[in-house]
Chain A
Amino acid sequence: MMKKIFICCCFTFCLAALSFGQKAEEDAIRAIIDAENLAYTTKPVQEVWSNYWLLDDHTRLFLQPLNQQAVNKDKKGLLAMSNEVAGDKRAQIQTSNIKYSITGNVAIVTADYTLSIPEEKQSLVSAHLYLLKKVDGKWLINCATKMQSIVNQ
């Protein structure tokens, strides 16, 4: 009987630890992608790459800016970008529909971002897909697709 109780307790403890571990990784990833999105409104883009991106031969950023042609950047293309603040510092950003698939040190995340500027009557919705990798304990973005479109309020 004691043995059964002991096994049940161990099993429950393992499941709880796994679930807690998954939640901790999700929180860490969420912190990185939220910070990355906010950083565009306050920091020059090269700081965004150096703080939140893993730049290697596989790096890709597919970006569909509002009312412009799409942009396809690899590592070289990102590093060649003019080092300016790309966003508007008045922007308020909200995240929704975030979904994680984490396998070891690799994560696939989808999320929707709503960027609104209180002074303006339109919001921008941006649909994102990320591939992140955990390097030296820190999650970094390796590939991303971002598509922007307008929502009238």
Chain B
Amino acid sequence: MKFFLITSLCFFFSHVAFGQIEEESAIRAVLEAETQDYLLKPIQEIWKNYWILDDKTTLFLHTPDGATNIFDKNALLELPNIVTGDERAKIERSNINFQFFGDMAVVSYESKIVIQEESITVLSLEMREMKKVNGKWLNHIGTIIQNITQ
């Protein structure tokens, strides 16, 4: 009986841990794809593919020139539909931290963006509230703080 209980408990916890790792991988994949698309695709495709746009959608963006931009759903949809990134950029993500609350997740991480040809390195601190909709993780609220280091 004891053996059965312990085995069941181990199975339950490994199942939970495996589920968490699976969700983390799914979120990493979405963030990775979104980042790559910033470098290559017009901005409106980013909102369409990776964001939930509703009355609480918010993107706070602090750019290296010191400006803070606050975008709600309407402001995001009004942005000119051009490619905003630089396809030469190499991006590394680190110190990623996940918290899950059912179909909602809060993710924070650091990104290092390097454009070697221009000798530019940008460090970015990012925090996202993401929601799982029809099995896919999407951004809902995001903050991006960018600082040039070189």
Interface membership of chain A positions 43-73, coded 1 if the CB is closer than 8 angstroms to chain B and 0 otherwise? 0000000000000001010101001011010
Q: Using C-beta atoms within 8 Å of the partner chain, give the interface range for chain A.
A: 20 to 34
A131 and B60 form a contact (CB under 8 A):
no
In the bound complex, CA of A72 to CA of B145 (Å) = 10
B44 at the interface (CB under 8 A from A): no
Complex Cα distance, B55 from A67, in Å, reads: 31
Q: Is the CB of A143 within 8 A of B147?
A: no
Task: Tell whether, in the assembled complex, residue B60 and residue A129 are in contact, meaning their CB atoms are under 8 Å apart.
Answer: yes
Q: In chain B, residues 107-145, which have Cβ atoms closer than 8 Å to a Cβ of chain A?
A: 108, 110, 123, 125, 127, 129, 141, 143, 145
Given contacts A60-B97, A70-B125, A70-B145, contact A127 B106 (CB under 8 A): no
Q: State the CA gap A104–B101 with chains docked (Å).
A: 9
Neighbouring B residues of A67 by C-beta, 8 Å:
66
3 closest residue pairs by CB, A with B: A145-B143, A149-B68, A62-B125
New contact pairs (20) apart from A60-B97, A131-B99, CB-CB < 8 Å:
A62-B143, A62-B145, A64-B62, A64-B145, A70-B125, A72-B95, A97-B70, A99-B56, A101-B56, A103-B102, A110-B58, A127-B70, A129-B60, A131-B106, A143-B106, A143-B108, A147-B68, A147-B143, A147-B145, A148-B68
Interface residues of A (CB under 8 A from B): 58, 60, 62, 64, 67, 69-70, 72, 97, 99, 101, 103-104, 106, 108, 110, 112, 125, 127, 129, 131, 142-143, 145, 147-149
Can you identify 28 A-B contacts, CB atoms within 8 angstroms? A60-B97, A62-B125, A62-B127, A62-B145, A69-B147, A70-B145, A72-B125, A99-B58, A101-B56, A101-B129, A103-B102, A106-B101, A108-B104, A108-B129, A110-B56, A110-B58, A125-B68, A127-B70, A129-B141, A129-B143, A131-B99, A143-B108, A145-B125, A147-B62, A147-B68, A147-B145, A148-B68, A149-B68
